[in-house]
Amino acid sequence: MKDTTAHIQRERVLLKSGDVEVRLYPGTGPDTVVSFFAQNPKSDAALPNRESFVNAASNNGTRSVITILDLQWTWLSAQGVRASIVEAIEEAFEDLPRGLWVGVGNSSGASILLSMCGDLKLDAAFAIAPQIDLGPVFEAFDPRQSDWRGWLPENADVPNPLEAFSTDTQLVILHGLRGPDSAHAALCPQTERCAHFLFPDLEHNLASRMQPRGLKQRILNRLFENDMGAVHRIIVASGAIRRGETVFMPPENGWQERQKFLERTAPENEGHTVETV
């Protein structure tokens, strides 16, 4: 019987420094999954089981899997840390054939993923519930912003998820429309290479709702097959609408409060306007 856990046994630590840990689980083929995880020190929630995730993402050991772990919820914002991650990964793959590279992340992990699409030269990125704007403007309406900013290192270099929209990476982004995520959804630029799906009845816990049905794994597999039609069908069948196929105004008073804040501080925030979808 074929051993489908050999890649687990060949685990390599590419980088372990301070608040970040990067591990490589080598596969037998050229394709690679790059996954981003973050640990909130103030939460009792456990990180996903790494071995279970790696086994699923590796497609029976045929894909390499890289796990990037933010140990202290710093959003990998220490000076130079994201560049160090890219350097460590490039060094590990320097003499290896390169197939398709697909990134996946949830919440802050998804935000970091989007900010690093270009640096990692990802072919596709699957971002679940990412915060799109990490600037201080969002403290006016998203209480989570001021909360996590207290954990950032001094002179933080906060990642910019909007950088993903100027890359060649195929983006698949999921947002719930309840709570503050609705405004982050509205800020996603509409580009040819972005498939943006919205769940009207869900909040920030999209990933946990997808897990029991294996949706994340199914979508990941279709991205490696470059089958965006199948990606669309899987996500819509799970209760989402694709942005551009309907019109929505994000609910919640937080959005209106944010717009009032922007109007008060214009012209510094010129260009940040409410948009319909």
Longest CA–CA separation in the chain, Å: 66
pLDDT at 250: 45
Residue with tokens 């279970």: 52
**SS3 of 138-170:** HHHCCHHHHHHHCCCCCCCCCCCHHHHHHCCCE
188: in domain = yes
Residue 135 has pLDDT above 60, yes or no: yes
Q: Which two tokens stand for residue 96?
A: 């290896």
Higher pLDDT, 119 or 140: 119
Residue 4: pLDDT band with limits 50, 70, 90? low
Alpha helices in the chain (DSSP H): 6-9, 50-57, 81-92, 108-120, 143-149, 181-187, 206-210, 215-224, 228-237, 253-265
Tell me phi and psi for residue 224, to 5 degrees: -70, -20
pLDDT at 142: 65
153: in domain = yes
276: in domain = no
Per residue in 56-94, pLDDT (tens digit) is 899 999 999 999 999 888 889 889 999 999 999 999 999
Do 170 and 123 touch, CB atoms closer than 8 A? yes
Mean pLDDT of 88-105: 95
Among the listed residues 172, 161, 175, the one whose alpha carbon sits nearest the alpha carbon of residue 117: 161
277: in domain = no
**How far is Cα 155 from Cα 152, in angstroms, rounded to an integer?**
8
Residue 247 has pLDDT above 60, yes or no: no
Mean pLDDT of 193-204: 91
Residue with tokens 């981003």: 36
20: in domain = yes
271: in domain = no
Domains of the chain: total? 1
User: Which of the residue ranges 44-53, 128-137, 267-276 has the most confident prediction, judged by mean pLDDT?
Assistant: 128-137
pLDDT at 202: 87
**How far is Cα 148 from Cα 124, in angstroms, rounded to an integer?**
27
273: in domain = no
Q: Which two tokens stand for residue 255?
A: 């959005």
23: in domain = yes
Find the domain containing 135 and state its range.
6-265
pTM of the model: 0.82
Query: Beta strands 124-128 and 101-106: pairing type?
Result: parallel
Mean pLDDT of 165-187: 91
Higher pLDDT, 29 or 153: 29
Mean per-residue pLDDT over the chain, rounded:
81
CATH of the domain at 203: 3.40.50.1820
Determine the distance from the C-alpha atom of residue 43 to the mean position of all C-alpha atoms in its chain, rounded to a whole number: 19
Query: Beta strands 20-25 and 64-70: pairing type?
Result: antiparallel
pLDDT at 157: 87
Higher pLDDT, 2 or 81: 81
pLDDT at 81: 93
Tell me phi and psi for residue 129, to 5 degrees: 55, 50
- The fraction of the chain above a pLDDT of 70, given in percent, is 74
Residue 8 has pLDDT above 50, yes or no: yes
pLDDT at 32: 97
Task: Name, in order, each residue with C-beta under 8 angstroms of 92's C-beta and a sequence gap of 6 or more.
Answer: 12, 14, 24
Higher pLDDT, 5 or 231: 231
Helix (H), strand (E) at residue 128: strand 124-128
Residue 165 has pLDDT above 60, yes or no: yes
Mean pLDDT of 227-234: 95
